Structure 1
Amino acid sequence: MLKHRWNHNTNYHRLVLESLPSGARTALDVGTGDGLLAGELREKVPEVVAIDSDSDVLDRARASGADVRWVHGDVMTHSLELAHYDLVAAIATVHHLPELSEALTRFADLAKPGGVVVVIGCARSSGIGDHLIDAVGVLQHQVLSRTRGFWQHTATTVTRFPHTYEQVRHTAADSLPGVRWRRLPLFRYALTWTKSG
C-alpha cells in the first residue's frame, strides 16, 4: 500500500504524528508531494488540508482517494486561515521556499494557540559533528533500504540545499523562540515548536 512506502522522508512521518496535540481537529501538510503524510494525518485528524505548488504531483496525491482537502498553491501566499491549525507540518519542504525565516514565521501564523509546528528538513553538513551523523545515516540507509525497499517520491528533488544545519538551527531559534531542534540521521533535522496561548 502507498502509505507503507519507505524513504528518508516517510521514515520521519512518525515524528510528525507523535507531535499531534491531544484532541487535534485540524492539520496542514505543507508541500504534501505524493500526499502520504496527509493520508496518515487524516486517519487521526478530522480536517486535513494538504497544499503543494506542483499541480502534477498534487493530482497524483488526489488519486490516493484520501479524504483530504487538496490545495494547489504556494503556502506563503495562498489564503489559508490564520491561527486555525492544531498541527502545521512540513517534510522536506522549506528548502524549496525563498526565505527560511519567513517560512517559519508563516507556519507559526497558521498554527492556532497551543498548536504545534513540525518541520523535518534537509540541509548541508558543515562540521565534523554533521559528518559523523551523516556516516550513521549512510549505514542506516543501507540497512533500511534493504529491509524495507527504497521508494523514490515523485516530487521535485533539490541536490544543493541553501542552508547548513547550523544556519537552520540559528534561524529557527530566532524565528520560533523556544523551538526544539534535533539533528537526525538519514540527512534530516527536526524542528518542533508549540505556539503559546
Structure 2
Amino acid sequence: MEGNYWNHNTAFHNELIADAKLRGGRILDIGCGDGLLVQRLAPFASQVMGIDPDQTALELAQRRLAAISNVTLMNDDFLALPVPIQEERYATIVCVATLHHMDLRSALLRMSQFLSPGGRLLIIGLAEDKSILDLIISGGLLLPIRIMDRLHGGMGNPNVRIAAPKESIREIRQVTNEILPGAKVRRRFYYRYLLSWDNPLV
C-alpha cells in the first residue's frame, strides 16, 4: 500500500483489523488522521466512515482514499455529531490515540450510542503516569520499546495533532466501568492500553 509507515499506533492496526473483520458491516474510525487505518479496514467492511476535526489530516486522508468506493470521510468533531438511527450505527468502532483529545466520559457515552447491538468498541489509548506503579511499568518498558523501534527502522510520524493524556489508567478504568459495564481496559506495549467493549444484543 502507498504511504505505509510504522509507529506506536500503527503497531496495533493488524489486531484491530482482524477483530473488525469478524463482524464486517459498517466501521467507524474516530480520529482517522491521514486515513491509513481506514484504508486497511476498507477491504473487510461494507462501509468505513473516518472522522477527524483536523482539516490538514483529512486532506491527506482524501488523497490516500480517493480511489476506494466504500469510504466516507468527515471533517468534524465526533462529540458534536447527532446520534444515528439504529440502521446507521456501526458494527465496529475503532479509536486509536484519540480518546485523550476528548472529554473521557462524554466520548465513551457517545461511542456507545453509535455502536450497533452486538457491535464492538476498540480503543487504543494513552494514559498519564500518576502512580508509582505507572512509573515503574513505563520505566521497565523503555529499553524493550527502544529495541522494537530500531527493529522496525524507526517511527514514522505523520503531521497530526498531539496532546498529552490527562487521566491515569486507573481513572480510565473507573469511568469506563460506569459508562460501559463489562468493558475491559488492559495495559499494552508501547505505552498504550486497549479498551474493548461489546454492546449487548438486547
TM-score normalized by the length of structure 2: 0.89
- Following superposition of structure 1 onto structure 2, how do residues 47-66 of structure 1 map, counting pairs within 5 Å? 47-65=47-65
Query: 2: CA distance between counterparts of 1:25 and 1:128?
Result: 43
Instruction: Judge conservation of contact 1:140–1:186 (CA < 8 Å) in 2.
Output: no
Q: Which residue of 2 aligns with 1:86?
A: 91
Query: 2: CA distance between counterparts of 1:34 and 1:171?
Result: 29
Aligned-CA RMSD value: 1.7
Identity over aligned residues, as a percent? 29
Q: Which residue of 2 aligns with 1:95?
A: 100
Which amino acid counterpart does residue 54 of structure 1 have in structure 2? Answer: D
Residues 1:39 and 1:21: Cα distance change in structure 2 (over 3 Å)? closer
- Is 1:181 the counterpart of 2:175 in the alignment? no
Query: 2: CA distance between counterparts of 1:186 and 1:2?
Result: 25
- Is 1:70 the counterpart of 2:73 in the alignment? yes
Greater fraction of residues in helix: 2
Which amino acid counterpart does residue 195 of structure 1 have in structure 2? Answer: N
Instruction: Write the deviation string for residues 132-153 of structure 1: whole angstroms up to 9, x where unpaired.
Output: 3313432232122212121012
Secondary structure at 1:63 match in 2: helix
Query: 2: CA distance between counterparts of 1:82 and 1:190?
Result: 27
Q: Which moved more, 1:100-109 or 1:133-142?
A: 133-142
Q: Which residue of 2 aligns with 1:109?
A: 113
Instruction: Judge conservation of contact 1:133–1:184 (CA < 8 Å) in 2.
Output: no
TM-score normalized by the length of structure 1: 0.91
Query: 2: CA distance between counterparts of 1:17 and 1:132?
Result: 31
Instruction: Judge conservation of contact 1:87–1:115 (CA < 8 Å) in 2.
Output: yes
Query: 2: CA distance between counterparts of 1:12 and 1:32?
Result: 14
Aligned length: 195
Q: CA deviation at 1:20?
A: 1.8
Structure 2 residues not aligned, in runs of 5+: none
Q: Which moved more, 1:175-184 or 1:81-90?
A: 81-90
Query: 1: CA distance between counterparts of 2:35 and 2:112?
Result: 22
Instruction: Judge conservation of contact 2:91–2:119 (CA < 8 Å) in 1.
Output: yes
- Is 1:170 the counterpart of 2:154 in the alignment? no
Extract structure 1 runs of 4+ deviating beyond 3 A: 1-4
Secondary structure at 2:93 match in 1: strand
Which amino acid counterpart does residue 134 of structure 1 have in structure 2? Answer: S
Structure 1 residues not aligned, in runs of 5+: none
Q: Which residue of 2 aligns with 1:122?
A: 126
Q: Which residue of 1 aligns with 2:33?
A: 33
Which amino acid counterpart does residue 140 of structure 1 have in structure 2? Answer: P
Instruction: Write the deviation string for residues 6-53 of structure 1: whole angstroms up to 9, x where unpaired.
Output: 111111112322332634211000000111111111121120000000
